[in-house]
Amino acid sequence: DQQVKQNSPSLSVQEGRISILNCDYTNSMFDYFLWYKKYPAEGPTFLISISSIKDKNEDGRFTVFLNKSAKHLSLHIVPSQPGDSAVYFCAASGPDMRFGAGTRLTVKP
Amino acid sequence: EAGVAQSPRYKIIEKRQSVAFWCNPISGHATLYWYQQILGQGPKLLIQFQNNGVVDDSQLPKDRFSAERLKGVDSTLKIQPAKLEDSAVYLCASRLTENTEAFFGQGTRLTVV
């Protein structure tokens, strides 16, 4: 079941630069999209979301972009900080909620 | 606001034994999910409840897994009998409505030996 795909298992960026995490989905029924951050031994923590009626949502250093025609969304983190190092999961919702495989982000000082 | 509570945090059992996990969602959240997360993979949806009714259990291995949500609040997930490949973290999440964020518990790490 690969309705949500994160094709980059890992990403390494320098502190202060931009991190861009990508996600693709296949099911047109999805109408709400979320990004979660996960540290080891903890449950996923909600980061930011976007409804299908929007193409951009911003919250501080985090911005999510949605391209419905391409069934693609991305998470931008600017500027990246070492504390952002974690695994990031993309999720797509409607009516159930499915997750991608995750991208491990490492921000180097 | 109290978060999603799960217990136990860790469980080690032998194959063919039974195990049960418990989840207490955030008060008022009608939607409850159980996910299985195998190491290195994303969370895989096992079952979704809306109040005490099942919305989606298409990926639940029904020959060995069962789940219930009595009175539309707490939920239990059971595995009987367990196999080695069931070793994973089992995550419970709850949600107020479809277009809001879901909140996760800390998960139960199951090791089947």
Decide if B15 contacts B113 (C-beta within 8 A). Answer: yes
Please name the residue that has the structure tokens 């630069």: A17
Q: How far is residue B80 CA from its own chain's centroid?
A: 14
Examine the pLDDT at A1 and tell me if it is beyond 70.
Answer: no
Closest CA to B95 of A58, A79, A91: A91
Chain A to chain B Cβ contacts (< 8 Å): 59
Which chain A positions have a beta carbon within 8 Å of B59's beta carbon?
A: 1
Contacts of A97 in chain B (CB under 8 A): 33, 45, 48, 93, 95, 102
| Residue A87 β-bridge partners | A38, A104
The tens digit of pLDDT for each residue in A55-81 reads: 999 999 999 999 999 999 999 999 999
Structure tokens, B10 = 């860790």
CB-CB under 8 Å, B33 with A97: yes
Query: What is the per-residue pLDDT for B71?
Result: 85
Strand arrangement of the beta sheet that strand B19-24 belongs to = B5-7, B19-24, B75-79, B65-68
- State pLDDT tens for residues A21-68: 999 999 999 999 999 999 988 999 999 999 999 999 999 999 999 999
Residue B107: its chain A contacts at CB < 8 A? 42-43
Task: Answer for the pair A65, A76: CB distance below 8 angstroms, yes or no.
Answer: yes
Question: How many CB atoms are closer than 10 A to CB A86?
Answer: 21
